[in-house]
């Protein structure tokens, strides 16, 4: 069963004159890692809200078509029930951390599910270990660095054991070193469990090795969808104004000058390796 299905889906916020999403048909298979890109106002957050049930249960408006998460129709499933299938990590962990200690915070979700104490304890320990924050367990979240807070928030989401994880600009508040670390954690989590990941993020270079696929939104519609390296280098997504990594632009320039590459490098490291393989006189 696919993790996520949008079937000719459309949404217009109550009072708005035009739809924020139109004719969205998109299937994401279990285990895929997908980047959702598009300029400001293209509909990314609206699409994410349509997955966790904020639309239509909190934000009202006119809906067309349907959205399924793990086979459940979002319009007839409560947000609480959806929270066990799909976890969300937002840009600002402050919005997700509010208890007096890290351990209490990570336990909050599983406690709300009404699980037995023993199971809650196990889930919390597992999530703390996975995010390498066991030593922070008794600290107050407000004493932590941005990167540590982000890991606490992610541990809280993982303790719900969702099969799908949605990340809305998870790296934008982090310094480069911490951002690289978070990506390493995500890579490790993916290695250990068959998570489906949907990520909105502008700092593409950092995620290049994690992503399988890229979906580009433009004015509420899908403008591009396919393997990351094909979509990012394609002309069809130019109108969307997605920031193209410098490496991808550099490659295009080098190709104009007669160089040929085996695959599409996205990071500096990949470009250097490929240039090393080329016969450049």
Ligand X SMILES: Nc1ncnc2c1ncn2[C@@H]1O[C@H](COP(=O)(O)OP(=O)(O)OP(=O)(O)O)[C@@H](O)[C@H]1O
Residues 152-191 that bind Mg ion (CB under 5 A): none
Report the candidate in 207, 198, 274, 197 with the shortest Cα–Cα distance to residue 245.
207
In 94-242, which residue ranges form alpha helices assigned H by DSSP? 102-112, 117-130, 146-158, 176-192, 204-207, 228-232
Between 130 and 200, name the residue whose CB sits nearer to Mg ion.
200
45 binds Mg ion (CB under 5 A): yes
- The site partner of 40 among Mg ion, ligand X, none (C-beta below 5 to 8 Å per kind) is ligand X
DSSP β-ladder status, 33-37 and 61-69: unpaired
- The site partner of 148 among Mg ion, ligand X, none (C-beta below 5 to 8 Å per kind) is none
| Number of Cβ atoms within 10 Å of the Cβ of 187 | 13
13 binds ligand X (CB under 6 A): yes
Per-residue contact string for residues 15-54; x = within reach of ligand X by CB under 6 A = -x---x-----------------x-xxxxxxx--------
Q: Report helix angle 102-112 to 146-158, nearest 10.
A: 30
Between 206 and 217, name the residue whose CB sits nearer to Mg ion.
217
Number of chain positions touching Mg ion (CB under 5 A): 2
The nearest distance, CB 233 to Mg ion, in angstroms, is 25
- Beta bridge pairs of residue 28: 4
The nearest distance, CB 44 to Mg ion, in angstroms, is 5
**Which residue do the tokens 């310094």 mark?**
175
Using only C-alpha atoms, the chain has a radius of gyration, in whole angstroms, of 20
Residues 58-117 that bind ligand X (CB under 6 A): 59
Task: Give the separation between CA 64 and CA 47, rounded to whole angstroms.
Answer: 13
Between 49 and 213, name the residue whose CB sits nearer to ligand X.
49
Between 48 and 83, name the residue whose CB sits nearer to Mg ion.
48
The nearest distance, CB 204 to Mg ion, in angstroms, is 16
The nearest distance, CB 255 to ligand X, in angstroms, is 30
Sequence-distant (≥ 6) Cβ neighbours of residue 254 within 8 angstroms: 261
What 3-state DSSP class applies to 146?
helix
Residue ranges that bind ligand X, judged by CB under 6 A = 13, 16, 20, 38, 40-46, 59
Residue numbers of the site for Mg ion (CB under 5 A)?
44-45
């Amino acid at each position: 069963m696919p993790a996520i299905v949008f079937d000719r889906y459309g949404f217009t916020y109550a009072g708005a004159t035009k739809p924020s999403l139109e004719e969205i048909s998109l299937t994401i298979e279990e285990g895929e890692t997908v980047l959702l890109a598009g300029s400001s106002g293209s509909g990314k957050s609206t699409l994410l809200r349509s997955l966790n049930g904020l639309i239509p249960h909190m934000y009202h408006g006119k809906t067309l078509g349907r959205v399924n998460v793990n086979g459940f129709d979002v319009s007839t499933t409560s947000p609480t029930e959806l929270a066990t299938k799909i976890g969300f990590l937002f840009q600002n962990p402050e919005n997700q951390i509010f208890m007096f200690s890290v351990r209490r915070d990570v336990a909050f979700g599983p406690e709300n599910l009404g699980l037995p104490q023993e199971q809650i304890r196990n889930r919390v320990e597992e999530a703390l270990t996975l995010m390498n924050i066991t030593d922070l367990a008794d600290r107050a979240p407000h004493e932590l660095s941005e990167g540590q807070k982000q890991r606490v928030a992610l541990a809280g989401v993982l303790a719900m054991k969702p099969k799908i994880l949605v990340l809305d600009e998870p790296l934008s508040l982090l310094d480069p070193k911490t951002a690289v670390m978070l990506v390493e954690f995500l890579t490790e989590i993916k290695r250990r469990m068959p998570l489906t990941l949907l990520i909105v993020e502008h700092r593409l270079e950092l995620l290049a090795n994690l992503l399988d696929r890229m979906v580009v939104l433009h004015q509420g519609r899908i403008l591009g969808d396919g393997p990351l390296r094909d979509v990012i280098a394609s002309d069809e997504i130019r109108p969307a104004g997605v920031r193209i990594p410098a490496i991808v632009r550099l490659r295009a320039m080098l190709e104009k000058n007669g160089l040929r590459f085996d695959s599409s490098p996205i990071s500096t490291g990949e470009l250097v390796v490929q240039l090393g393989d080329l016969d450049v006189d």
